[in-house]
Structures are given as structure tokens and as C-alpha cells.
């Protein structure tokens, strides 16, 4: 259902809108550029040329471009993104862009401009230090997930919140592109011919496919917390001091391990793209993400867990070990789909020369499969390094 006053904005429409909303001082000279890089949304940066102040207007488009085709995709994801940013800001305002305005019928979110930061994927590929990245992400995960879960929220209020984040279209994208298509000979897959044998090994691995089906079922049914749903390193802006998580249009009530696993996977994908002696910093980021997550989640639990859980000895430890196991499995799925599925990562695709790229992608496929199948025996974040070395 598309609202009647919806239309995709032009750059000059974006300026008119910013003026009408009084987002800048009267009579400011404004410029606007569309800076988005996706196939799903427009991202406008509007700047006051006199003092450099700027804002971002993100607008959802009513279709997605996938394998040359265009298919309808609900504008409701813009409402979800706005509401997720506002909800996350209740717990970690320091890690999300401020929302200035939103309009459901136009499918827009107007927010803080973060152009002074870099997309973490690009910074990591450029070998730049993001020393606080994993500390900040560990805390972001712990607080946003604990305080939107039944562990930290009254069950009645939590169900009211679940209603606001029913997101079937975007969940379907993940169900297909992360948990289904890469494991079958599906037309959305995209990989170099040199990988054909390795990909067929995946398609024929019945043990792997059974474990992926179990993980997909967890993604479909485990309404544990309000997850971000697309927490790869391209959804994180950072520099040496600050970290901001953007783009929660996939947010829904899902398993906590899904967000944690996507972070693990995208750090691992960057690690394996590097020469061995430059990998350690990424393995350390993975360990720190989990260590800080556990510290902050435990702190929140001790202070704020609802009684029915906090009174039961061993329950926190049980929850944390389930989250970790699921995160390892989800990380494996993410690594595989980023290697052979529809949406790739630059960390792998930019590797040159081609023979090196192919052998690292072969490693990624083996590593992803091992993580999915052995997730019960991977119990410590230090194991990621061991698995990577053993698989190589």
C-alpha cells in the first residue's frame, strides 16, 4: 500500500523540504547531493554553504533492484528504520545518528550527518586503526539487545514493541539471501567460475544444509530481542574515537546471535582478506566484541533483569552460551553468502590478483561451513583464529 503523497525526491525537492521544515536558519544557501550507494534507498546530503552545517535525508524507494529485475519492496521499512534508531537511542545515544524528523508517507528519515566518520569496512580495508570499534560495538549489542528482550523488558511491554517491528519483506530478503539461495543452485547466486566445484561441494553437503535449515528456523521464530538485522561493517561509521551504527531497516524481533554473528563474520571476512601478519588486529576485535558484550550484558542483567530470570542460578550463563553458539552458526552462513550469494563484500571482491582472490574465497567457503557445522564446539572467540588457521 503506497501512500498517495509519496514520490521519490530529487535533489532540489530535498532542499525545498529542508527549508519547509526549518532545518536550517532562514535564508541559508543550501546545496544537495544524492550520496547513496544502494539499490534500495536514496540518501541526500543537504549542506548550508555558509557554515557547512549539514543533514542527511534517507528515503526508501518502493522497489529493489535485484539481478537486473525490479521488485516491489515495502516503504514501511523507513518507519522501521526511524523507530529502531529512536529505540536504540534510548539505550546507546552515543552509537546512533540523531533523528531530526521523519515522515512515513514520504518514507523519509532525516538524521545527523556522519560524513566526518568513515564506513568501517572501508577503513579496515584501508588498514586504518579503529581502536575502539569492538568496545563500542560490544556495548551497542549488549544494551540494545538486552533492553529489548524478555530478559530486560516486562513481557507485556515487549509484546507491544514486537508489534511495531513486524518486518516481513525485509526478513524475507534475509531468509532467501542468507539462509536459502547460497545453499542451492539459485539464480540469485553470483560467483566466479573457478569456484564452481567448491560451490557444488556446498550444495551437496547434506550435513551443512541440515544445520543451515536449523539456523533459518531460529531466525524465523526466535523473537528474542529487537535486532538490527543488517549489522555488517558497511552499516558502521567509525574513526579512532567514535562509532555510529546506521541503517537498521531490517530490524525485527529475532535472535540476539544474529547481530553478534554478522559482526563476527564481517570482521572475519576482513581478516582473511589480509596477509597473515596483519590479521591479528581483527581476531582481537572479534574477541573484544564478545568480551565487552558479555561484560555489558551481565552488568545489565545484574541491574535490570526481570525477576523470573534473575532469580534462577545459571540462567544468564545458559543464555550467553546459546547466543554464542547461534552467533557462530549465523556467522558461518553470512561468510558463505557474502562469498557466493547475491550481495558480496568488497573485502573479498577487491583482492588482486584473481588467483589469490579465488583461494581466499575457497577458504571463506570452508571456514563458513566449518563454523555452521561445528558451532557447538566453538565455545570461545579465540577459536575463530584457530579455525581460520586450520582451514587455510
Decide if 253 contacts 165 (C-beta within 8 A). yes
CB neighbour class for 217 (10 Å; exposed up to 12, middle 13-18, buried from 19): exposed
Binder of ligand ADP out of 10, 29, 115, 154 (CB under 6 A): 115
According to the binding rule CB under 5 A, does residue 247 interact with Mg ion? yes
Distance, in Å, from the CA atom of 236 to the CA atom of 97, rounded to the nearest integer, reads: 11
How is residue 253 written as a grid cell? 524481533
Partner from Mg ion, ligand ADP, none contacting 119, C-beta within 5 to 8 A by type: ligand ADP
Contacts of ligand ADP in 229-268 (CB under 6 A): 235, 246-247, 249
Judged by CB under 6 A, the number of residues near ligand ADP is: 20
Partner from ligand ADP, Mg ion, none contacting 111, C-beta within 5 to 8 A by type: ligand ADP
Site string for ligand ADP, 117-156 (x = CB under 6 A): --x-------------------------------------
Of the ranges 107-115, 219-227, 337-345, 376-384, which one interacts with ligand ADP (CB under 6 A)? 107-115
Binder of ligand ADP out of 9, 84, 92, 97 (CB under 6 A): 97
To the nearest whole angstrom, how small is the minimum distance from the Cβ of residue 36 to Mg ion? Answer: 9
CB neighbours of 233 closer than 8 A, spacing ≥ 6? 119, 120, 121, 124, 266, 267, 270
State residue 55 phi and psi, 5-degree precision.
-140, 165
To the nearest whole angstrom, how small is the minimum distance from the Cβ of residue 173 to ligand ADP? Answer: 11
Which stretches within 165-205 are classed as H helix?
168-177, 196-203
Distance, in Å, from the CA atom of 293 to the CA atom of 320, rounded to the nearest integer, reads: 10
Residue 51 is labelled as binding a ligand: no
Residue 348 is labelled as binding a ligand: no
Q: Which is nearer to Mg ion, 52 or 314 (CB)?
A: 52
Residue 200 is labelled as binding a ligand: no
CB neighbour class for 64 (10 Å; exposed up to 12, middle 13-18, buried from 19): middle
- In the complex, residue closest to Mg ion by CB: 247
Q: Which is nearer to ligand ADP, 95 or 151 (CB)?
A: 95
Regarding beta strands 118-119 and 236-238, do their DSSP bridges make them parallel or antiparallel, or are they unpaired?
antiparallel
What is the b/e burial string over 259-274, where b = at least 16 CB atoms within 10 angstroms of the residue's CB?
Answer: bbbbbbbbbbbbbbbb
Residue 27 is labelled as binding a ligand: no
Residue 154 is labelled as binding a ligand: no
Distance, in Å, from the CA atom of 299 to the CA atom of 149, rounded to the nearest integer, reads: 15
Residue 375 is labelled as binding a ligand: no
What is the b/e burial string over 129-155, where b = at least 16 CB atoms within 10 angstroms of the residue's CB?
Answer: ebebbbbbbbbbbbbbbbbbbbbbbee
What residue ranges in 239-318 does DSSP mark as E strands?
243-245, 252-254
How is residue 11 written as a grid cell? 535533489
Residue 114 is labelled as binding a ligand: yes
**Residue 20: Cβ within 10 Å count:** 8
According to the binding rule CB under 6 A, does residue 37 interact with ligand ADP? yes
Partner from Mg ion, ligand ADP, none contacting 327, C-beta within 5 to 8 A by type: none
Q: Which is nearer to ligand ADP, 18 or 328 (CB)?
A: 18
Distance, in Å, from the CA atom of 334 to the CA atom of 265, rounded to the nearest integer, reads: 6
According to the binding rule CB under 6 A, does residue 67 interact with ligand ADP? no
Site string for Mg ion, 109-128 (x = CB under 5 A): ------x-------------
Q: Which is nearer to Mg ion, 105 or 115 (CB)?
A: 115
Judged by CB under 5 A, the number of residues near Mg ion is: 3
Of the ranges 23-31, 38-46, 128-136, 271-279, which one interacts with ligand ADP (CB under 6 A)? 38-46
Feature table: binding site = 41, 58, 112-114, 230, 247-249, 337
| Residues near Mg ion, by CB under 5 A | 115, 247, 249
Feature table: binding site for substrate = 230, 337
| Residues near ligand ADP, by CB under 6 A | 35-38, 40-41, 43, 56, 58, 97, 111-115, 119, 235, 246-247, 249
Feature table: binding site for ATP = 41, 58, 112-114, 247-249
Amino acid at each position: 500500500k503506497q501512500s498517495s503523497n509519496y514520490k521519490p525526491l530529487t535533489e532540489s525537492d530535498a532542499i525545498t523540504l529542508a527549508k519547509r521544515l526549518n532545518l536550517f536558519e532562514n535564508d541559508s544557501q543550501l546545496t544537495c547531493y544524492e550520496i547513496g550507494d544502494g539499490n534500495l534507498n536514496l540518501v541526500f546530503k543537504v549542506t548550508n554553504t555558509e557554515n557547512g552545517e549539514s543533514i542527511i535525508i534517507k528515503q526508501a524507494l518502493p522497489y529493489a533492484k535485484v539481478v537486473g529485475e525490479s521488485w516491489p519492496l515495502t516503504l514501511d521499512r523507513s518507519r522501521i528504520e526511524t523507530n529502531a534508531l529512536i529505540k536504540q537511542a534510548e539505550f546507546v545515544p552515543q552509537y546512533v545518528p540523531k533523528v531530526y524528523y521523519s515522515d512515513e508517507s514520504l518514507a523519509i528519515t532525516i538524521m545527523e550527518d556522519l560524513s566526518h566518520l568513515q564506513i568501517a569496512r572501508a577503513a579496515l580495508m584501508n588498514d586504518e586503526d579503529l581502536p575502539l570499534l569492538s568496545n563500542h560495538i560490544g556495548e551497542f549489542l549488549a544494551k540494545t539487545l538486552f533492553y529489548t528482550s524478555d530478559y530486560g523488558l516486562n513481557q507485556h511491554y515487549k509484546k507491544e514493541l514486537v508489534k511495531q517491528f513486524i518486518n516481513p519483506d525485509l526478513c524475507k530478503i534475509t531468509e532467501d539471501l542468507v539462509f536459502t539461495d547460497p545453499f542451492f543452485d539459485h539464480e540469485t547466486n553470483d560467483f566466479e567460475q573457478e569456484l564452481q566445484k567448491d560451490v557444488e561441494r556446498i550444495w551437496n553437503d547434506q550435513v551443512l544444509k541440515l544445520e543451515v535449515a536449523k539456523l533459518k528456523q531460529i531466525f524465523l521464530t526466535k523473537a528474542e530481542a529487537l535486532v538490527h538485522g543488517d549489522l555488517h561493517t558497511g552499516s558502521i561509521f567509525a574513526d579512532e574515537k567514535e562509532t555510529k551504527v546506521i541503517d537498521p531497516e531490517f530490524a525485527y524481533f529475532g535472535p540476539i546471535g544474529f547481530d553478534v554473528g554478522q559482526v563476527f563474520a564481517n570482521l572475519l571476512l576482513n581478516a582473511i582478506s589480509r596477509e597473515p601478519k596483519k590479521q591479528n588486529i581483527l581476531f582481537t576485535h572479534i574477541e573484544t566484541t564478545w568480551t565487552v558484550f558479555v561484560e555489558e550484558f551481565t552488568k545489565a542483567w545484574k541491574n535490570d533483569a526481570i525477576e523470573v530470570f534473575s532469580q534462577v542460578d545459571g540462567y544468564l550463563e545458559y543464555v550467553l552460551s546459546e547466543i554464542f553458539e547461534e552467533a557462530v552458526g549465523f556467522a558461518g552462513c553470512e561468510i558463505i553468502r557474502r562469498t557466493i550469494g547475491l550481495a558480496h563484500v568488497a573485502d573479498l571482491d577487491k583482492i588482486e590478483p584473481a588467483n589469490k582472490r579465488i583461494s581466499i574465497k575457497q577458504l571463506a567457503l570452508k571456514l563458513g561451513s566449518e563454523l555452521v557445522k561445528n558451532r557447538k564446539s566453538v565455545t570461545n572467540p579465540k577459536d575463530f583464529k584457530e579455525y581460520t588457521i586450520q582451514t587455510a
